[in-house]
Amino acid sequence: MVVAGLFFWAALAQAATRIGRPLVRVGPHALIVRLLNSRHVVWRSFSLIHPARVVVDLHGVALPRPSAMWPEHMGPLKDIRAFRHRNGMVRIVFDLARKVPYEVSALPGGLTVSLGGAGLLSSPKTKGRPQAVASPVATEPRIAPPTAPPDIVIAVDPGHGGIDRGACGIDGICEKNVVLRIARDLGSLIDATPGFHAFLTRRGNYYVPLRERVALAQAHHAAAFISIHANALPEPEGMDVRGAEVFILSQHGVSREARWLAHSENAADQMGALHFGAGGGFLHNILLNMTQNGTRRASYDLARDVLQALGAVGPLHVDHVEKANFMVLLSPTIPSILIETAFISNPREARDLDSPVYDERIAHAVWEGIMRDAPRLRARLGMSPGPRLYVVRAGETLSGIAQRFHVSIAALRAANGLRGDLQAGTSLRIPSG
């Protein structure tokens, strides 16, 4: 039975757009499928039952290669099929384990299909209306927030977790796993730095809702919030695009890709989607509050320092701080940034992200960016600027570090009381040049 069958018209692309492998995001409340990178196609959608499926007809696109569709069964989605239909249409069929709510959206970043709702995690065998189940949030005991902040607390937020895999690349390399490794490495570097302490919003493979991540950072008196992710685009663009990006919260000056990326991150968490559902006024008030208390500027300064440090260890997708309305950046009092470390849809960058050595390099770069911003963080907290700090990496020499910071070897030795060989992991105080 046809449930919905309305055509939504947009300008036809001059040349046919080839559909690549769909980009799939899975959250506890919605499964988001990005079909193609352009919204300028003519399309219609409808749903059928017996068996349950959602159909999207596309005009002005080329039929994908047989291997491009996504066969893995996850949530309500059993399979994705594509074939040439009448009048030159390409028909995409989403075979479902059961009937679920759906929505097709022509967003600035491309055409997406959202499947599910509160019953995404419900068993297909459940009769009648799907029953809501408990979200797979952290199963670890909650750590009581400290009564007084130990030095400067940095909240490190590994994105996704649990059922929310984030984006996945070649050989099953998934975002939720690589960002957790990077976050752990970054946390260790922060904890090894005198005067700093790291708090991770998750320490294992479980899901933490977006608003709870922000609340945890506030409860632990965080001076900064660092959310770590890996980016992705559908094929064929996603195979070649590369580089790191750093975002701060904004509702203006947002690029097409940033708009779609924020939508997919927020929509995968129903709580986040509802939070933004109140309209633009809510975000405007948050941004106004951030501007009045200096958080917005502090977020930009931190993002710029981290971006510069990331550019020293790998390619940048863009060479400036980007803006998007990510739900997880909504704290009005904590400088907050979101880092896309690399494109996991690019096979080369996916393999890099799967390497512990590369993950350590990314973590060290982020740590170095935080240390560059440390004097401003201290000033914001009413503390003295404190010394510049640097954690030694394997293979580095004292002469190389002295040259990097334009100080003498003798000054480095005197500032740190060094007599013997330099050990990896040592935290050095960098004297004024």
Query: Tens of pLDDT along 406-429?
Result: 888 888 888 888 887 788 777 788
Question: CA 333 to CA 403: how far, in whole Å?
Answer: 37
Kindly state the DSSP code that residue 22 receives in the 8-state scheme: P
Structure confidence at residue 29 (pLDDT):
57
* One-letter amino acid of 222: A
Residue whose pair of structure tokens reads 């512990």 in the numeric block: 356
Kindly state the DSSP code that residue 329 receives in the 8-state scheme: G
Residue whose pair of structure tokens reads 């685009």 in the numeric block: 233
In degrees, rounded to 5, the angle at the alpha carbon of residue 299 between the alpha carbons of residues 297 and 305 is: 105
Give me the sheet containing 42-48, strands edge to edge: 6-8, 42-48, 53-59, 90-96, 77-84
Structure confidence at residue 293 (pLDDT):
60
Cis peptide before 51 (omega within 30 of 0): yes
The answer to whether residues 152 and 371 touch, using CB atoms and an 8 Å cutoff, is no
Mean pLDDT value of segment 346-372: 94
Q: pLDDT grade, residue 286 (50/70/90)?
A: low
In degrees, rounded to 5, the angle at the alpha carbon of residue 39 between the alpha carbons of residues 38 and 44 is: 130
Residue 134 has pLDDT above 60, yes or no: no
Structure confidence at residue 95 (pLDDT):
86
Cβ atoms within 10 Å, residue 185? 20
Q: Which CATH architecture has domain 152-380?
A: 3-Layer(aba) Sandwich (3.40)
- From 117, 138, 22, 131, select the one nearest 75 (Cα to Cα): 117
Q: Which residues of 248-287 are buried (b: 16+ CB within 10 A; e: fewer)?
A: bbbeeebeebbbbbbbbbbbbbbbbbebbeeeeeebeebb
98: its two tokens: 């059961």
How far, CA to CA in Å, does 233 sit from each of 2, 14, 191? Answer: 32, 22, 34
Minimum mean pLDDT among 45-49, 69-73, 156-160, 202-206: which range?
A: 69-73
Instruction: Please give the torsion angle defined by the CA atoms of residues 244, 286, 383 and 367, in that order, rounded to the nearest 10 degrees.
Output: -10
Structure confidence at residue 265 (pLDDT):
64
Residue 220 has pLDDT above 80, yes or no: yes
Query: 72-106 pLDDT, tens per residue?
Result: 556 677 888 888 877 777 888 888 888 888 887 76
**pTM for the full predicted model:** 0.64
Most confident of 120-124, 264-268, 303-307, 395-399: 303-307
Most confident of 205-214, 243-252, 255-264, 340-349: 340-349
Element (H, E) at 186: helix 175-191
Answer positive or negative: Cα dihedral of 2, 69, 102, 278: negative
Q: Which residue has the higher pLDDT, 56 or 186?
A: 186
Angle between helices 295-311 and 356-380 (to 10 degrees): 150
Structure confidence at residue 177 (pLDDT):
95
266: its two tokens: 């927020």
Question: CA 429 to CA 401: how far, in whole Å?
Answer: 11
Element (H, E) at 288: helix 280-292
Question: CA 110 to CA 96: how far, in whole Å?
Answer: 23
Q: pLDDT grade, residue 131 (50/70/90)?
A: very low
Q: Where are the beta strands (DSSP E) in 163-292?
A: 196-200, 224-231, 245-249
How far, CA to CA in Å, does 323 sit from each of 19, 86, 237, 378? Answer: 28, 42, 21, 25
In degrees, rounded to 5, the angle at the alpha carbon of residue 55 between the alpha carbons of residues 51 and 57 is: 155
In degrees, rounded to 5, the angle at the alpha carbon of residue 369 between the alpha carbons of residues 332 and 339 is: 60
Q: Which residue has the higher pLDDT, 384 or 12?
A: 384
Structure confidence at residue 86 (pLDDT):
75
End-to-end alpha carbon distance in the chain? 75
Structure confidence at residue 122 (pLDDT):
39
Q: Which residue has the higher pLDDT, 99 or 62?
A: 99
Q: Which CATH architecture has domain 6-115?
A: Sandwich (2.60)
The CATH fold of domain 388-430? Membrane-bound Lytic Murein Transglycosylase D; Chain A (3.10.350)
Q: Which residue has the higher pLDDT, 362 or 31?
A: 362
Residue 352 has pLDDT above 90, yes or no: yes
3-state secondary structure of 1: coil
Mean pLDDT value of segment 97-122: 67
Domain residue spans in the chain? 6-115, 152-380, 388-430
Minimum mean pLDDT among 28-42, 90-104, 323-337, 357-371: which range?
A: 28-42
Q: pLDDT grade, residue 183 (50/70/90)?
A: very high
